[in-house]
Chain A
Amino acid sequence: MRRNNTNNFNLDAQDGVITQKSHSRVNAYLTHHLWVLVSSLGVLWRTPLATLMTASVIGIALALPTGLHVLLQSVQQLSTGWEGTAQMSLFLKSDVPEKRILSLADKLRGWEGVSEVRYISREQALAEFREQSGFGGALDSLDENPLPAVLVLFPTVEAAEPIQMGLLLGKVQKLDSVDLAQLDMEWVRRLSGIIEVGKRGVLLLGGLLALAILLVVGNTIRLTILSRSQEIIVTKLIGATNGFIRRPFLYTGFWYGLMGAVLAWLLVAILLGLLGDPVNRLSFLYNSEFSLGGLDLETVAILLGSGIALGLLGSWLAVGRHLQAIEPS
């Protein structure tokens, strides 16, 4: 070993201008954060299989609610398209003469919330039915026209809401000439009700899976902390703050969350791609223009955001719980 001369041994050598120093401290702080961000990714990269497995668990857990959400969104778009075409059919008693029907139609046009009333006479209804149903032959064998006359009532835009339509329905049902009044929006309402239930379900499922992600990330970070306890003790002895020690673990959680979210994105995109064609064929058979929507920007942003947040939170919980326990002794 070389014996140093005590003269070139000055411990209090250079020290820069104070302002310059504080400026470079901030710089060094940011550089350090960036370095920890990259190096924690590097650590994960060195054990690709273990990292991929953890990220996959998170990815699948995130993909499930995301996929269901996209599905529900598509169905909802379908039903909102129909809600605008809400209408009410008033099936009239067969003994009501046409004259009274027309005056009733005029009366209804004056009602609040009614924008238009269309009259379908028994003959028109029969012709329509014959044309569309293909049961023309069967109708011919009947002695008389079995179909009632119908007044189709279109609400104004403001009145096309479930509650107002319900009130209107109650009113028209009390009319003498009306045999049966039917709200064609009924099934749309039921559908939107089902969607509401589905949304709630996705939310609850998402909550449960979020909890699972927290546990997965927390446990992974816990194992990492335990395997690096010696390093934690040494850095604490050297004067590392809890924040300094926490940082690499938090960034590890961040990466797990981000990787899981990106995997979920890929999974959902692939699943939607695989489902797209059969769904289009099916909806074509139903004469519907329904098609599966893709992942919109908002959904992707929420997906990535919640993945990262869950990763960070999971590691935060693990770090908070286990770092305190590791103290030099």
Chain B
Amino acid sequence: MIKFDNVNKRYPGGHEALSGVSFHLEPGEMAFLTGHSGAGKSSLLKLIACIERASRGNVIIDGQNLTRLKNRHIPALRRKIGVVFQSHNLLYDRTVFDNVALPLIIAGYHQSEVGRRVRAALDKVGLLGKERLMPITLSGGEQQRVGIARAVVNRPPLLLADEPTGNLDPELSREIMGLFEQFNQVGVSVLIATHDHDLISRLDYRLLTLKQGKLEQGGRTSEMQVLKDKKNEI
């Protein structure tokens, strides 16, 4: 689903955010991406959503090489990717329903189908009763769930999340992670960037760690706790 082949990302000014990154996320796989802030997590996600382009190497999403992707084909790529942001990125001048409906309207779904799918997505995240509210009246956790509903309403094969639990307490964070696991169980590929080690060490998924733009892989999230305990002992 996601394939990075020796990818470099150098920003104007010479800062190299990613160097020689290669990995392959299989369809239906779920993985976590960790690393200190500035390690290149956001850059990596941006390359997947084609917000940035790789300086060198190939990024292949769902069989499509983004290096050669024409600008006018970017919207079609993004419709295949549901993105959940730390800052929610909701539109605060419209209702929860209209926020979640946006990807369907962009994709040109029929009105009746929009209503059905939006309600199904809101039901999944447990916000069915709040579709007529404005997002600003919701709590942080609820807003994040609106963002998740919007990311999945179009049934994308790939779900990206950038620090989805960044501003939430541990209880809410676990619920949000539970949602991602549920989507993964029905076949959606999921890649979550997070530095919430406490939370993901309770789960058992593939772990990708970025250190100064270089990728270390082969670990599992369940092994993280051990590392951390060791650190604490020292």
Contact = CB atoms under 8 A, between A and B. Distances in A.
Nearest to A241: B75
Interface stretch (A123-131, A160-168, A231-239): A231-239
A2 interface: yes
A29 B108 contact: yes
Interface stretch (A20-28, A75-83, A87-95, A253-261): A20-28
Given A1-B175, A2-B126, A238 B91 contact: no
B109 A28 contact: yes
A3 B145 CA distance: 13
A28 B108 contact: yes
A11 B187 contact: yes
Contacts of B185: 6, 9
Chain B's interface size range is 35 or more
Contacts of B102: 234-235, 238
Given A10-B186, A240-B75, A28 B126 contact: no
Given A6-B182, A329-B51, A239 B155 contact: no
A28 B111 CA distance: 7
B227 interface: no
B49 interface: yes
B107 A11 contact: no
B79 interface: yes
B229 to A, nearest CB: 30
Nearest to B88: A234
Given A4-B182, A237-B51, A11 B108 contact: no
B124 A4 contact: yes
Interface string A297-329: 000000000000000000000000000000111
A6 B108 contact: no
A28 B110 contact: yes
A317 to B, nearest CB: 20
A112 interface: no
Interface residues of A, number: 32
A231 B124 CA distance: 25
Given A11-B152, A237-B51, A1 B110 contact: no
B160 to A, nearest CB: 10
Contacts of B195: none
A234 B87 CA distance: 11
A176 interface: no
A32 interface: yes
A39 B187 CA distance: 37
A31 interface: yes
Given A12-B187, A27-B110, A235-B102, 20 more contacts: A1-B145, A2-B126, A4-B123, A6-B185, A9-B182, A11-B183, A11-B187, A11-B188, A12-B186, A28-B109, A29-B108, A31-B110, A31-B111, A230-B91, A234-B91, A235-B106, A236-B78, A238-B79, A239-B107, A242-B72
29 contacts: A1-B175, A4-B123, A4-B126, A4-B182, A9-B182, A9-B186, A11-B155, A12-B186, A25-B108, A28-B108, A28-B109, A31-B110, A32-B108, A231-B91, A234-B89, A234-B90, A235-B102, A237-B83, A237-B89, A238-B83, A238-B102, A238-B150, A239-B78, A239-B103, A239-B106, A240-B75, A241-B72, A244-B75, A329-B51
